[in-house]
Amino acid sequence: MIKGVMFDFSGTLFRIESTAQWLRAVVADSGPAVPEEELEACVGRLEEAGAQPGGVPPRRVPPHLEALWRERDLTAERHRAAFTALTREAKLPTADLAEALYDRSRLPEAWRPYPDTEETLRALRGRGIPVAVVSNIGWDLRPVFRDHGVDDLVDAYLLSFEHGMEKPDPRIFRTACDRLGVAPGDALMVGDDRVADVGAAALGCRVHLVDPLPVDRRPSALAEVLHLL
């Protein structure tokens, strides 16, 4: 019987804006005049580099960044350093855009909840089932939940950079279960990563995977969680 549910953040409960929206928002705020053709080319280079947190993963991590990339989610400093370095690999019009883009990725307005995120969390709360968010991340995502009105539906946040451990390490899932007051065998992990999130299975947790599609292409995947209960 499922007595507690753990959710991943990016690609599961929320999804970041498109790379084009991300870049255009920063360029509009910072003010450099960038021709449309160059903007479109920059979007392609950013996606190839995998420079957007929560966005398209890198097609190839440059050798000199491999060690930093592997450890990016363990501290806030490494996370910023890894993603701003990848952004600079994309050869943007001005160097200061790298830091501005990273800052943009941490803002609540850069993230959208999936259509069924709130209703699923509210249904779990209504059934008395506690919820934890377990995320490999380098910054505090709580403001995203607060800004979108669902923070009161989450009982615990287990963020890799705050604990110095990351999924699929079973320790982070065990800590989440302890916070929820449930045994691993009575917990469900919902995520989108077949490596990181499936790590919960090593503890005996049940795992349910969703597809990290754009928000407008995935209207009801989370609602399936309720049927698993």
This prediction's pTM: 0.95
Q: Count Cβ neighbours within 10 Å for each residue of 176-188 and write b for 16 or more, e otherwise.
A: bbebbebebebbb
Quick one: residue 173, left, alpha or beta (phi over 0 = left, psi -120 to 50 = alpha)?
A: alpha
Q: How far is CA 57 from CA 46, 83, 86, 138, 213, in A?
A: 10, 11, 11, 16, 14
Report which of 155, 100, 152 is spatially closest to residue 129, judged by C-alpha positions.
155
Q: Check whether residue 33 and residue 102 sit in a common domain.
A: yes
Report which of 80, 79, 75, 97 is spatially closest to residue 88, judged by C-alpha positions.
97
Query: Residue 165 — pLDDT band, cuts 50, 70, 90?
Result: very high
Q: Check whether residue 42 and residue 121 sit in a common domain.
A: no
Q: Report the distance separating Cα 73 and Cα 35, nearest Å.
A: 34
Q: Check whether residue 145 and residue 205 sit in a common domain.
A: yes
Q: Report the distance separating Cα 21 and Cα 172, nearest Å.
A: 33
- Across the strands, what pairs with 209? 191
Tell me which of 109, 130, 157 is where a domain ends: 109
| Tokens standing for residue 100 | 């501005």
Q: Check whether residue 11 and residue 123 sit in a common domain.
A: yes
SS3 48: helix
Residue 31 is which amino acid?
G
Query: Per residue in 114-131, pLDDT tens?
Result: 999 999 999 999 999 999
Q: Are 175 and 158 in contact (CB under 8 A)?
A: yes
> Where in the sequence is the domain holding 133, given as residue range(s)?
4-15+111-228
Q: Check whether residue 66 and residue 138 sit in a common domain.
A: no
Judged against a pLDDT cut of 90, whether residue 96 lies above it is answered with no
Domain total in the chain: 2
Q: Check whether residue 119 and residue 105 sit in a common domain.
A: no
Q: Check whether residue 116 and residue 103 sit in a common domain.
A: no
Query: Per residue in 40-70, pLDDT tens?
Result: 999 999 999 999 999 999 999 999 999 999 9
Q: Check whether residue 98 and residue 188 sit in a common domain.
A: no
Judged against a pLDDT cut of 80, whether residue 1 lies above it is answered with yes
Q: Check whether residue 102 and residue 126 sit in a common domain.
A: no
Rounded to the nearest 10°, the torsion over CA 48, 50, 56, 58 is: 80
Quick one: residue 176, left, alpha or beta (phi over 0 = left, psi -120 to 50 = alpha)?
A: alpha
Tell me which of 68, 86, 109 is where a domain ends: 109
Q: Report the distance separating Cα 123 and Cα 126, nearest Å.
A: 5
| Tokens standing for residue 86 | 């990848």
Q: Check whether residue 131 and residue 105 sit in a common domain.
A: no
Query: Residue 213 — pLDDT band, cuts 50, 70, 90?
Result: very high
What is the CATH number for 199? 3.40.50.1000
Q: Check whether residue 116 and residue 10 sit in a common domain.
A: yes
Q: Check whether residue 119 and residue 185 sit in a common domain.
A: yes
